[in-house]
C-alpha cells in the first residue's frame, strides 16, 4: 500500500495565510513562505497554496509569491486560484510549482483539464472540488465557495478523471473549519468510483480524524490547515500516531 500523504494547506489572501470556518469568518495567521518552509522541515509530504480570492476578484494568481515559495521548499507543492487559461498554468509551473489546482476554471471551461493534461501531463493536474451537501445531494461551488453550480460532486469528479486530472482535491464545505472530522462517507464513495488519488479536505480536528479518513474514508492524502497553523498538532506527532496504528506514512 502506498504511503498516505499529510498535506498542510495554506489559504492565501493579500500575501498572507488566512483561515476561516465554512469559508467565512476569515483571519490572518502568518507568512506563507515562512510557514511553508516550517512544514517542510517538520516532514510534511506536500503543501497546497490557494489564492482564495483571485477567482472572485477576477485577477491572476500570485506568480511572484510562488517564486519565493519555490526558493524555500524542498518538497512538492500545489498552487491554485485565479487560473483561467493555459498561459496561467505555464507561468505557475515555470515559477516553481509542482502541480496546479483547477477549480472555478475547470467548471467554467472543462476543456482546460484536457488541454492541461495534454500539454503538461496528468501528474500536474489537480482538480479541486468545493462541494456542499444539502438534502442528500452534493453540489459543487465556485469562486471560493460563493456560487453554486449545476455540477454534482460524484459525476463531476468522474468527468474530471476522464478529462485527464491526476488527482481530486475534495473539500466538504459542510465540514470546513468545523474540526468535527472529514466527510468520510463521501470520500469513500469517491475513492471507490475513481482510479486517481483523492485528497481529503475539510473538518480535521484531531489525529483520530486522520486515521478515520485513511481507513473508512479511503483517502490517499489528508489536507488540513487550522490544526497545523495553530500548532495543535505537529506533522511528526501525526505521522507517529498513524504509524502506531499501522497506517503507512513516510517517517
What pLDDT, on a 0 to 100 scale, did the predictor assign at position 1?
Answer: 73
What digits encode the pLDDT tens for the residues 81-123? 888 889 989 999 999 999 999 999 999 999 999 999 999 999 9
Contact by Cβ (8 Å): 198, 175: no
Torsion angle in degrees (nearest 10) through CA of 152, 100, 70, 227: 10
Please give the angle made by the CA atoms of 69, 72 and 75, to the nearest 5 degrees. 85
Question: Looking at the domain assignment, is residue 239 inside a domain?
Answer: yes
Please indicate, yes or no, if residue 251 is contained in any of the structural domains.
no
Report whether pLDDT(229) > 80. Answer: yes
Q: Is residue 128 part of a domain?
A: yes
Among 140, 193, 148, 215, which Cα is nearest to 170's?
A: 140
By residue count, the chain amounts to 251
Q: What is the pLDDT of residues 188-206, one digit of tens each?
A: 999 999 999 999 999 999 9
User: If we measure between CA atoms, which residue out of 38, 70, 23 comes closest to residue 175?
Assistant: 23
What pLDDT digit, counting tens, does each position of 112-163 carry? 999 999 999 999 999 999 999 999 999 999 987 889 999 999 999 999 999 9
Whether 165 is covered by a domain: the verdict is yes
Residues marked active site are found at 11, 130
Buried b (16+ CB within 10 A) or exposed e, 236-246: eebbebbeeee
Q: Evaluate whether residue 123 is within a structural domain.
A: yes
Q: Locate cell 476569515: which residue?
A: 26
State the chain's mean pLDDT as an integer: 92
Query: Residue 239's domain spans which residues?
Result: 5-244
pLDDT per position as a tens digit, 8-48: 999 888 888 886 555 455 667 789 999 999 999 999 999 99
10 lies in some domain: yes
**CATH number of the domain to which 64 belongs:** 3.20.20.70
pLDDT value for 20: 59
Q: Is residue 186 part of a domain?
A: yes
List C-alpha distances in Å: 82 to 23, 50, 85, 208, 237: 17, 9, 10, 34, 34
Half-sphere exposure of 10 (CA within 13 A, CB side): 29
Q: Quick one: pLDDT at residue 18? A: 83
More confident residue, 136 or 1: 136
Q: What is the pLDDT of residues 43-84, one digit of tens each?
A: 999 999 988 765 444 445 578 889 999 999 999 999 998 888
Give me the number of domains the chain comprises. 1
pLDDT-based confidence at residue 250 (cuts at 50, 70, 90): very high
Residue-wise pLDDT tens digits, 170-194: 999 999 888 999 999 999 999 999 9
Does 249 map to a domain? Answer: no
Predicted pLDDT at 60: 55
Residue 43 C-alpha from the chain's centroid? 18
DSSP the chain: -PPBEEEEEEEEETTEEEEEETTEEEEEEE-HHHHHHHHHHHT-S-EEEEETTHHHHT----HHHHHHHHHH-SS-EEEESS--SHHHHHHHHHHT-SEEEESHHHHH-THHHHHHHHHH-GGGEEEEEEEEEETTEEEEEETTTTEEEEEEHHHHHHHHHHHT-SEEEEEETTTTTT-S---HHHHHHHHHH-SS-EEEES---SHHHHHHHHHTS--SEEEESHHHHTTSS-HHHHHHHHHHTT--B--
Amino acid at each position: 500500500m502506498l504511503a498516505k500523504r499529510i498535506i498542510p494547506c495554506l489559504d492565501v489572501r493579500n500575501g498572507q495565510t488566512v483561515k476561516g470556518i465554512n469559508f467565512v469568518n476569515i483571519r490572518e495567521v502568518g507568512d506563507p513562505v515562512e510557514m511553508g518552509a516550517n512544514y517542510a522541515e517538520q516532514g510534511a509530504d506536500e503543501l497546497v497554496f490557494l489564492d482564495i480570492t483571485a477567482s472572485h476578484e477576477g485577477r491572476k494568481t500570485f506568480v511572484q509569491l510562488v517564486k519565493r515559495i519555490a526558493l524555500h521548499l524542498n518538497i512538492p507543492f500545489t498552487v491554485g486560484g485565479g487560473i483561467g487559461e493555459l498561459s496561467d498554468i505555464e507561468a505557475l509551473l515555470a515559477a516553481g510549482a509542482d502541480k496546479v489546482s483547477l477549480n472555478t476554471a475547470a467548471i467554467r471551461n472543462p476543456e482546460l483539464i484536457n488541454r492541461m493534461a495534454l500539454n503538461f501531463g496528468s501528474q500536474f493536474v489537480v482538480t479541486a472540488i468545493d462541494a456542499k451537501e444539502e438534502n442528500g445531494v452534493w453540489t459543487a461551488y465556485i469562486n471560493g465557495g460563493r456560487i453554486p453550480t449545476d455540477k454534482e460532486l460524484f459525476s463531476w469528479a468522474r468527468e474530471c478523471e476522464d478529462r485527464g486530472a491526476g488527482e481530486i482535491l475534495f473539500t466538504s464545505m459542510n465540514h470546513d473549519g468545523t474540526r468535527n472530522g472529514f466527510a468520510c462517507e463521501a470520500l469513500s464513495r469517491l475513492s471507490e468510483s475513481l482510479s486517481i488519488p483523492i485528497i481529503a479536505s475539510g473538518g480535521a480536528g484531531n489525529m483520530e480524524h486522520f486515521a478515520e479518513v485513511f481507513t473508512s474514508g479511503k483517502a490517499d492524502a489528508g489536507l488540513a490547515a487550522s490544526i497545523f497553523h495553530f500548532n495543535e498538532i505537529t506533522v511528526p506527532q501525526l505521522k507517529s500516531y498513524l504509524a502506531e496504528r499501522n497506517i503507512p506514512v513516510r517517517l
